[in-house]
Amino acid sequence: MLGGFSEEQIRRYSRHIILPEVGGKGQKKLLSSKVLCIGAGGLGAPIIEYLAAAGVGTLGIIDDDTVDLSNLQRQVIHGGNVGKPKAESAKQFVNNLNPDIEVKTYIERLNANNVIDIFKEYDIVVDGSDNFATRYLVNDACVLTDKPLSHGSIYRFEGQVTTILPHKGPCYRCLFEHAPPPGMVPSCQEAGVLGVLPGIIGVIQATEVVKYLLGIGELLVGRLIYYDALNMTFDEIKMRWNKQCPVCGEEPKITSIQEEIYGDVCRI
Amino acid sequence: MQDMSRITELDLRGEVCPYTFVKTKLKLEELESGEELKVILDHAPAVENVPRSLKNEGHKILGIEQKGDNLWNVRIRKA
Ligand SMILES: [Zn+2]
């Protein structure tokens, strides 16, 4: 044991430890951190994969879906697990990749009743959900409980990603006050998605989480990256705190998580 | 008061790069600023690599002594 690391850990994390910005101290921070991953689908797969590889000590994974053959076009951690709950499949992947990681699975839907209790256990939340109901629920719960949030979403060939530090920067509702009405956007299964797209966006989310946990670099706070795979462009959109924001504004209308605010568009 | 005369020793015989540096770095993280560390190396490339990487991180190399055919002591003062 050297600096609290086993011989195997010294080798596993050596490329981190070598970095002046990380070192043994930073690696220990990662090992003692707890991250909640909402969804183990397209975005969740690379998020879970890289956070586990990086040695984030505790990963919570919430997903109530099971692996379908059509998922494997992009959800790269679920090979051989068609029919299994995605959270269980993800746990199996993590255990194989890095035995240092403790995985807590939640095979349930995130909802108004369980969100606060689940969030309590974690240092930061990563949203890899694929529907507006969950996205707004996660945003509001993070603002109300002051929990950092990495937001990512994808659509066909386009993705967006930002980092929310409640009350230190704008939240998702500051930019998009309400979800589009049902019917305005195609449901998750109908839209189609380029398989590599969630890989790009999810890995950016994982990068932000690791930076946040280490306390290094500049986070995507007040900035939203808009990625277009067809044109291969990354645009940065400035986000401002909205005084009229329904959840983090000066006179917020949303002061607690009430079930009726969050419609049920489709599953995580 | 920290004891500046205390010299910690790290025996890295049998270890190769980059783990020679990784382990030296982890040991230094346990020490106080200004404390001295003596590292014993028998992997020739490490005798150049380890001091260079340590200097990049701001530590001071106090000396490199060859003790045998394939044996070196590197003395470091922690930044
Ligand atoms: Zn807001």
User: Domains in chain B and their CATH numbers?
Assistant: 4-77 (3.30.110.40)
Least confident of A38-52, A119-133, A254-268: A254-268
Is beta strand A102-106 parallel, antiparallel or unpaired with respect to A58-62? parallel
pLDDT at B22 over 50: yes
How many angstroms separate the alpha carbon of residue A227 from the centre of ligand 1?
22
Q: What are phi and psi of A86, to 5 degrees?
A: -60, -35
Region A77-101 average pLDDT: 98
Greatest pairwise CA separation for chain B in angstroms: 39
* Residue A28 to chain B, least CA–CA distance (Å): 11
Q: Find all residues with CB under 8 Å of B51, minimum gap 6, and list them.
A: B61, B64, B74, B76
Is beta strand A102-106 parallel, antiparallel or unpaired with respect to A233-238? unpaired
Task: Grade residue A187 by pLDDT with cuts at 50, 70 and 90.
Answer: low
Residue A10 in tokens = 């010294």
pLDDT digit string (tens) for A3-16? 899 999 999 999 99
User: Among candidates B2, B5, B4, B12, which has minimal Cα distance to B74?
Assistant: B12
User: Domains in chain A and their CATH numbers?
Assistant: 14-262 (3.40.50.720)
Q: Is A37 a catalytic residue?
A: no
pLDDT of residue A112: 94
pLDDT at A263 over 70: no
pLDDT of residue A268: 43
pLDDT at B60 over 50: yes
* A17 contacts chain B (CB < 8 A): yes
pLDDT of residue A267: 45
> Which 3 state secondary structure label does DSSP give A179?
coil
Whether residues A17 and B22 touch (CB distance < 8 A) is answered with yes
User: Which residues of chain B neighbour A23 with C-beta distances below 8 Å?
Assistant: 25, 29
User: Which residues of chain B neighbour A11 with C-beta distances below 8 Å?
Assistant: 19
Region A171-180 average pLDDT: 91
CB A63 within 8 A of CB A87: yes
Please give the helix or strand (H or E) that residue A145 lies within, else none: helix A132-145
% of chain A surpassing 90 pLDDT: 89
Quote the ipTM score. Answer: 0.91
pLDDT at B46 over 70: yes
Chain B interface residues (partner A, CB cutoff 8 A): 18-19, 21-23, 25-27, 29-30, 53, 56-57
Task: Grade residue B2 by pLDDT with cuts at 50, 70 and 90.
Answer: low
CB A16 within 8 A of CB A9: no
User: Cα–chain-centroid distance for residue A39?
Assistant: 8
Least confident of A155-159, A174-178, A247-251: A174-178
pLDDT at B5 over 80: no
pLDDT of residue A186: 66
* A5 contacts chain B (CB < 8 A): yes
* A8 contacts chain B (CB < 8 A): no
pLDDT digit string (tens) for A24-52? 999 999 999 999 999 999 999 999 999 99
pLDDT of residue A252: 95
